[in-house]
Homo-oligomer: A and B are copies of this chain.
Amino acid sequence: MSTSNRSAYHHRALRPALIAAARALLDEGGPEAVGLREAARRVGVSPTATYRHFRDKDALLAAVAAEGFREFGAALAAGQSAADPFAGMGAAYIDFALAKPGMFQLMFSPLLAAQAADPDLSAAADAAFALLRKRAEASAPGPFGGDIEATTLIAWSMVHGLSRLVLDGVLPREAAEGFKRAMLARPPGAGPATA
């Protein structure tokens, strides 16, 4: 009971508790719904207590996003072990976005680009992105031509674009299924389905 016998004044694990609370808000109502005061309220602490652990609201969001990027990387790595590693990773990308829409939106929020100074966040993000590039490397020349750079760019753009279009409500969720099927129908190295 190291967490429960706290002295009611000193929480002793406020930082992770705030991150968890912020994350719950994120899951419930998207990035807009995350608030410093509300997170503090849920943890049972005064609003300003948060400033002992985070410089400001954005720093809290950055911590949440860093967690997200770590899970994202794990999901991508897992998807890679499918029969078709290239399509498997793409499907994992899309599945992650649809399964954790709030987190995905936060992770790719322009707000987070401004938070690039946070080493924890950039490390987690870079690690996840490195997986994408590595996969493109291993699969190049892929279905889009020989250049590794181009393969990464195009494949990444495709899965990312589809994810966002669905999340933003432009395309229906079914579109994701059709997309994943199309990916599987065109294994890396295969030409266009001319027949």
Contacts and interface: CB of A to CB of B under 8 A. Distances in A.
Interface residues of A, number: 47
Interface in A110-164: 110-114, 116, 129, 141, 143-147, 149-150, 153-154, 156-164
A57 B160 CA distance: 29
Interface string A168-195: 1111000100110010011000011110
Contacts of A194: 141, 191
Contact of A108 (B141, B147, B159, B168): B168
Given A145-B182, A191-B192, A164 B167 contact: no
Copies assembled: 2
Contact of A158 (B116, B161, B178, B191): B161
B156 A165 contact: yes
Contacts of A30: 110
Contacts of A129: 170
A109 interface: yes
By secondary structure, the A interface counts as helix
Interface of A: 30, 32, 105, 108-114, 116, 129, 141, 143-147, 149-150, 153-154, 156-165, 167-171, 175, 178-179, 182, 185-186, 191-194
7 contacts: A105-B110, A153-B175, A153-B179, A157-B157, A157-B179, A160-B165, A191-B191
A69 to B, nearest CB: 11
Nearest to A125: B170
A183 B146 CA distance: 14
Q: Top 5 nearest A-B pairs by Cβ distance?
A: A161-B161, A113-B169, A157-B161, A160-B161, A157-B162
